[in-house]
Amino acid sequence: MTTTAAAQGATERREDDALLQELRAWLKDNWDPDLSVGEWWERLGLAGWAAPSLPANAYGRDLSRADAVRVEQEIAAHGALGAPGGLGLLLAAPTIAVHGTQAQIDRYVRGIVTGQDAWCQLFSEPQAGSDLAGLQTKAVRDGDEWVVTGQKVWTSGGQIADYGMLLARTDPEAPKHRGISYFALPMHQPGVEVRPLREMTGRALFNEVFLTEAVVADDARIGDLNDGWRVANTTLAFERAGLGAGGGSAGGGSGAMPGSVAGHLERRAGDFVAGPGRR
């Protein structure tokens, strides 16, 4: 090893040590198993430890993926409840951090890192097959809102989601890779019906979602109008990276699930961890 490489390695180790020392001190002061899951996730998320690879303006700490993994491991080693899992943290938050306005980051990413909102992905359609750009779900503008009609399929977590990452066609005259927009669709509204896709075992890992004149505000559009294909490819890139790293679980490794439907936010945080952290 050259002198320069050795010096660089020593610097990286010092930075790593400083990062973990800061996190350990913070956990010592903040982890309390008697907090509710929601209370703990709010502390974790607003301190930047839930999604530390996000930018600082998006409730993160601008850490590398490797350092973010070390943060996750250190939280587990302390016996504390880990960050809220699911597609919100894996896909929606980093996509909105890239393409959203600061107002959208504050509205949506904050709810994700604090576990208040669960998300699903409304991309695939039964008629489109593997051709994602062939989607037929349409959004028609009505003043400051869009009225959405269509069907989505293979939707993981749709039954507990508060929001959906929605791709819809906003310009039917444009070529198929154009004329698509990306929305943060509120799931708890008339016109959104989630139906489980049951396997022979009776389990339902995925859902169909039927949209019948569901409404989404124009200020919930992520990215430019008719530029949803580019935004969607950002989401898909995060999906490939996250799944390759073993991410994508519905509730993290803890079993606690985010969002208003699952019913975990009011439960005791220590009940979702093993060992000394439970006490």
For residues 257 and 29, the answer to whether their CB atoms sit within 8 Å is: no
H-assigned helices in 171-276: 228-244
Look at residue 4 and tell me whether its pLDDT is greater than 80: no
**pLDDT value of position 267:** 98
Q: What is the pLDDT of residues 104-130, one digit of tens each?
A: 999 999 999 999 999 999 999 998 767
For residues 187 and 235, the answer to whether their CB atoms sit within 8 Å is: no
**pLDDT value of position 204:** 61
List CB contacts of 21: < 8 A, sequence separation 6 or more.
none
For residues 211 and 192, the answer to whether their CB atoms sit within 8 Å is: yes
Look at residue 57 and tell me whether its pLDDT is greater than 70: yes
Q: What is the pLDDT of residues 59-69, one digit of tens each?
A: 999 999 999 99
Q: Average of pLDDT values for 227-232?
A: 97
Look at residue 167 and tell me whether its pLDDT is greater than 80: yes
Look at residue 8 and tell me whether its pLDDT is greater than 90: no
Residues that are catalytic: 239
CA–CA separation, 249 and 268 (whole Å): 21
Q: What is the pLDDT of residues 190-209, one digit of tens each?
A: 999 999 886 655 566 789 99
**pLDDT value of position 131:** 85
Site of tokens 């580019």 = 230
Q: Average of pLDDT values for 12-33?
A: 89
Looking at 6-20, 39-53, 68-82, 210-224, which range is the least confident one?
Answer: 6-20
**pLDDT value of position 244:** 56
**pLDDT value of position 251:** 40
Q: What is the pLDDT of residues 183-195, one digit of tens each?
A: 999 999 999 999 9
Look at residue 249 and tell me whether its pLDDT is greater than 80: no
The pairing of beta strand 138-142 with beta strand 145-152: antiparallel
Looking at 5-9, 26-30, 127-131, 238-242, which range is the least confident one?
Answer: 5-9
**pLDDT value of position 86:** 95
